[in-house]
Structure formats: structure tokens, C-alpha cells
Chains A and B, each alone.
Chain A
């Protein structure tokens, strides 16, 4: 293969200067604070057993419903359990259910959505019809019914909520893929001999990934609220395991005696959800800007 330098009388080549490195600061302070907060919650949930927290499930009966103090920064509950410890352990449940369920939803709904949008035809008609059937059924009622019969351990709740989120994810991912599936670069990839799997994973997936990521984060937030709703009905993880939803549910009885009991898990949930939503929103916007630059 000889080089042909004489074929390079390019005036237009001057226009294409190498790109400047992407500016991270463009995402803003709030974005980074949110990221740090989400990271901190993750970290604490993971290392909870090793940082010398009080046992979240066995309390000190001599000290029930106490206000925040040096030994118990968030106070104690009606059974004398340390609220800080329970909030941190409770994060585990919210994180596992939230991220686990959305991972299942994305895995199932996302894959089906991409395939349906790319293949169209009978596959698309069938899966879309199935998604409409599932969407027409009130999800919360279905989840409550299944959890009530099947049992409410954390993994079962994750699977059920994950499957319940599938049709929503399917519709979003299908719509996002649809706008790229008919673009010429897909035909061009096909004209190079790429297989369908390759086109889906290497041509289409990078294009729909921004949508998937931002929808994933907002989906996690929704699922965490759903877990709270289930807990409020006594259908989340069984006692004495702490979850943010469970704690808020338990605090109902003692609201006037010990408002701390309700405040801290509510604050944890509120701050975590707002961080997730902000990150998802900023990411979506920054991807939108890139698209318009093209």
C-alpha cells in the first residue's frame, strides 16, 4: 500500500482543527454536589458494617425516642435503635431496589425496545402490544398484589418492580432508537457488512445511551419512592430490617413525641432523590446541546 501524498491539496483540511478538551465545569456546581452526595450515600451503604455504627436492629431499651446527641447524632427510635445507623443501613435497601429494579427494567425493556425499533414489523407490533397491555394495568396495584402473594424479600421486590418498569423503559428506548434506526449511518454500516447485533450494539447503542442514562437515573428515583409506598403499606422488606420507607412508616405512631424519627429518613430520601433528578436532568441537557452542535 503506497502512500499517495499528491492527493492532498486540501484547502478544506484547515477547517478541521483538533477539538478542544471537553469542559467539565460546564455541568455546573449543583451537578457535582449531587454526584458527590450520591457517591457518599453509595459509599456509606457499602461500608456500613465496618465503620463502627451501632447495631441497626437491636436497640438500647434504656434510651428510647431520644433526641439527637453526641452518642446518637440522629437520636434513637421507639425501640432504642440508633437512627443514623438505621438510615445508613436503610440506604442499602433503597439502593438495591432502586438500581436493581431499573437494571432489570433496562435489561429487558431496553433490549426489547432497541430490537423492536430496529427490526420493526411483526416483532415491533407484538412487543408494543404487550407493553400497552402492561401499561394499561395499574402498576402499583399489580405490584402490591404480587408482593402480597409471593412474599416481600428484597430480591423479590426488586424483580417485581423491575418487571413492572419494563414497559415504560421499553417505550422510551424504542422511541429513542427509532429516530436513529432509519439514519443513513445504519445503512452505511450494513453496507460494510455489519451484522444486526453489531449494528445494534456498536452503531445504535452509543446514540441512545444518553437517553438511557438519564432515564435510568430518573427511573431509580421513581422506584425508590415506590419502595417507600410499599413500605408504608407494610409490604416492603420485613421488620426489623431498616429501609427508608419502613422507618417513615414506623415513625407515624410517634410523630408528636419524636419527630426526628420521621425527619431523618425523609431527609435522606428527599436529598437522594433530588440529587438523582438533578444529575439526570443536567446530563440530558448537556447531551441535547451536543446533538444540536452536530
Chain B
């Protein structure tokens, strides 16, 4: 257990065996005035040490709720959770705050979407970084400050020794997000959850932040779950991708396999709606017609059927189970009429270059 105390230690070989995180049949339900809303519905996944998983889906697909469920951060009073989330042998579902507090920050950390709101506006960034160091390690004030300065240097903030005294409003958006990454990394977590970490930033800064995350991850042998709506973001930076729709994982495969032969029409639609730099200017943006389904009264059959061009009568009456692709057992998808490899091929080649 003492390995978490220091930021320089690597996990021992014994700890390296077995998955870091196992989610089994997770169901997260909110009670709302209109009825129960199942935001995450029967999700199962596994994450190895040092692995990067991308979770992709449009707004309301349950990806943020899934990442917060994994962390156990959802408010107790209006949420019910069933299923199991095992993190290094600790059950997260239904755990007491006292148990979770030893995990939060120390073993699982989170980078939030908007650095404007996830940093406390009236507290110097030094204290916001040293907070978790002081909570989870035995560092004294001076050591924690030195670590904070070194962390700011690692996330690429110039003159960190002076910036550590700054307030969030004195930093630009990109710098703020670097600070939130430094905060998340302070105690060398095993798993980093990044919930749309670049959505609030402009495009040039986006790439810098994502590259920073990748390099820090490789350096620290840390697993990352990258939640985003943008397939372009996860294309080159993840080992595996899980596509979510209406609270379900509808397709999951290694990144290579997914882009080479996606099976779900929804994945294809998501990819098509990603604007590409190679497109001529004034190209109309492609959007997915219709809206995500009402999760309080989910439709029967496949949740994507009403918006799917390939939908058949079977799709509208019977929900497709998550099954494995015949030629690759790690490729899972939930579709009655999976796309042929040829379907997606034309899209893939142009994407692969980016």
C-alpha cells in the first residue's frame, strides 16, 4: 500500500496482473419528477493497467454518467445503482464515502470538462494542487509546495514557481486545464477519468492538451478513460473505444479494428458527423437526424432504430444483444444489421490519416 505514497514508485509486478477496473452490468437510475431515468443501462467493460479507453457518444448517451459512476461521485439521494464496479478489488457501487475517499484523488482522479468551473475561483492554485497531496500523503507544507511546482512544470506551465501563487482567473483557458490535469495527477493515480477534457478549449490548445495527457500517461503507466463526443479525438490516442447510445454500449473494439470495420450504423453516423479539415470550405456539416430517445420511456427494440437508415421491422421490436464479431472476439456490437466492412471502408481511409 505504501507505493501510493510516493510519486516515483511504479506498481509492483504482482499488482500488474489482472484488470485494473471491471464494470459488470452497471445500471444507474435517477429518480426525476417524470419517472425513473436510466442513464446507464447494463454496461460491462474491463480496463487493463496503462490502457486507454475512449468512451464516445452524443449528448445524453450516458457517457458522463458512466464516468461519474465509475468514480462513485453521483449524489446518493436521487440515484440508484446496481451491478458492480471493481477497482483493484474494491467495490465502488454502494461503497461508503469513507472508503471512496481513500480512492478519490489517490487512485482514481478526474479531469473535468470545464476548467472555468472545476477550479475554485477564490483559491490560489497552489492550495488546489496541494489539497490532495496533504490528504493522501504524509508530505508537509514545503514538500507539497515543491511537488506542486514540479507538477506545474510537468504539465507545461512556464515559470511554475510564480504561477503557483496565481488565482484561476489570472490564467488562460488552456493553462487552467493544464492546472486541473496537474491537480488530478498530484497523487499519481492508477486511473484517470477525463470527461470531455478539451471541449471548452479552442482547437489548437485541444491538441496540446491531448498530447500532454498521452505523454504523461505513458510516463506514469496510468490507465485513462477518455470521454468525448468526438471520434476524431479518440482516433489516435486510445487503445480501445466504447461507443455509447441511450445508456448502452452499442459497440466496443480496439481502435484499429473499430475504424477498419465498424459494425454499428450509429458509429458510422457519429464518424460522418465529425467535420474534416480535408473537406472543401462551406461543406454542409452532416448531422444525425432526429434526437436521442427519451430515457424515461425508452422505445422497444433498438434505441437507435428510429434514426437508423438500415432499420428493419426486427430492429423496431426486438433489442439487439451485444454480440461478438465472428472474425474478432474482442469486437462487440449490438446490431441486427451490422455494416459490411466495405460500408465503412471509404470513411476509414480519410480518417486514418488524421
Residue positions of A touching B, CB distance < 8 A: 1-13, 15-19, 120-121, 183-185, 187-195, 198, 202-203, 206-207, 293-294
Q: What mask results when residues 153 to 191 of chain B are scored 1 for a CB within 8 Å of chain A, else 0?
A: 111111000110011111111110000100100100000
CA distance A13 to B209 in the complex (A): 12
Further 18 A-B residue pairs, CB within 8 A, beyond A12-B204, A18-B170: A4-B216, A4-B219, A7-B212, A10-B157, A11-B204, A13-B156, A13-B174, A120-B77, A187-B112, A188-B118, A191-B109, A193-B101, A193-B104, A194-B101, A203-B123, A207-B122, A293-B169, A294-B168
A184 touching B155, Cβ below 8 Å: no
Could you say which of B135, B156, B170 contacts A8, with CB atoms under 8 Å apart? B156
Interface class of chain B by DSSP = helix
Give B244 Cβ to nearest chain A Cβ, in Å: 21
B117 touching A184, Cβ below 8 Å: yes
Give B257 Cβ to nearest chain A Cβ, in Å: 30
Give A272 Cβ to nearest chain B Cβ, in Å: 30
B215 at the interface (CB under 8 A from A): yes
Chain A residue nearest to B100 in the complex (CB) = A193
B102 touching A193, Cβ below 8 Å: yes
Give B331 Cβ to nearest chain A Cβ, in Å: 32
Are A185 and B157 CB-contacts (below 8 A) given A16-B170, A192-B109? Answer: no
B73 touching A18, Cβ below 8 Å: no
30 A-B residue pairs with Cβ-Cβ distance under 8 Å, sorted by A, are A1-B150, A3-B150, A7-B211, A8-B156, A8-B157, A9-B208, A10-B174, A11-B204, A12-B172, A12-B174, A12-B205, A12-B208, A13-B172, A15-B172, A16-B170, A120-B77, A188-B110, A189-B131, A192-B105, A193-B101, A193-B103, A193-B104, A194-B101, A194-B132, A195-B101, A206-B120, A206-B123, A207-B121, A294-B121, A294-B168
Closest 5 A-B residue pairs measured CB to CB? Answer: A8-B156, A12-B174, A192-B105, A15-B172, A193-B105
Q: What mask results when residues 311 to 346 of chain B are scored 1 for a CB within 8 Å of chain A, else 0?
A: 000000000000000000000000000000000000
Give A293 Cβ to nearest chain B Cβ, in Å: 6
Give B108 Cβ to nearest chain A Cβ, in Å: 8
Could you say which of A17, A19, A189, A202 contacts B167, with CB atoms under 8 Å apart? A19
Chain B residue nearest to A10 in the complex (CB) = B156
B8 at the interface (CB under 8 A from A): yes
CA distance A6 to B156 in the complex (A): 8
B154 touching A7, Cβ below 8 Å: yes
> With a CB–CB cut-off of 8 A, which chain A residues contact B166?
16, 18-19
Chain B residues 125 to 150 lying within 8 A of chain A, measured CB to CB, are 127, 131-132, 135-136, 147, 150
Could you say which of B105, B154, B158, B172 contacts A3, with CB atoms under 8 Å apart? B154
Chain A residue nearest to B158 in the complex (CB) = A13
Are A188 and B112 CB-contacts (below 8 A) given A7-B154, A16-B163? Answer: yes
A191 touching B110, Cβ below 8 Å: yes
Chain B residue nearest to A207 in the complex (CB) = B122
> With a CB–CB cut-off of 8 A, which chain A residues contact B132?
192-194
B239 at the interface (CB under 8 A from A): no
CA distance A195 to B96 in the complex (A): 12
CA distance A198 to B119 in the complex (A): 15
Chain B residue nearest to A19 in the complex (CB) = B170
A1 touching B154, Cβ below 8 Å: yes
Give A173 Cβ to nearest chain B Cβ, in Å: 16
A192 touching B154, Cβ below 8 Å: no
> With a CB–CB cut-off of 8 A, which chain A residues contact B91?
none
B302 at the interface (CB under 8 A from A): no
B273 at the interface (CB under 8 A from A): no
A4 touching B172, Cβ below 8 Å: no
> With a CB–CB cut-off of 8 A, which chain B residues contact A9?
156, 208
B117 touching A185, Cβ below 8 Å: yes
B106 at the interface (CB under 8 A from A): yes
Chain B residue nearest to A20 in the complex (CB) = B170
Chain B residue nearest to A18 in the complex (CB) = B162
Are A16 and B175 CB-contacts (below 8 A) given A1-B7, A7-B154? Answer: yes
Among A1, A2, A12, A187, chain B packs the most CB atoms within 10 A around the CB of A12
A185 touching B154, Cβ below 8 Å: no
Are A3 and B104 CB-contacts (below 8 A) given A121-B77, A192-B131? Answer: no
CA distance A293 to B109 in the complex (A): 29
B150 touching A191, Cβ below 8 Å: no
Chain B residue nearest to A196 in the complex (CB) = B97
CA distance A206 to B171 in the complex (A): 19
B208 touching A4, Cβ below 8 Å: no
Give A292 Cβ to nearest chain B Cβ, in Å: 11
Chain A residue nearest to B121 in the complex (CB) = A294
Give A190 Cβ to nearest chain B Cβ, in Å: 7
A193 touching B106, Cβ below 8 Å: yes
A16 touching B180, Cβ below 8 Å: no
Could you say which of A1, A12, A183, A203 contacts B175, with CB atoms under 8 Å apart? A12
> With a CB–CB cut-off of 8 A, which chain B residues contact A185?
117-121
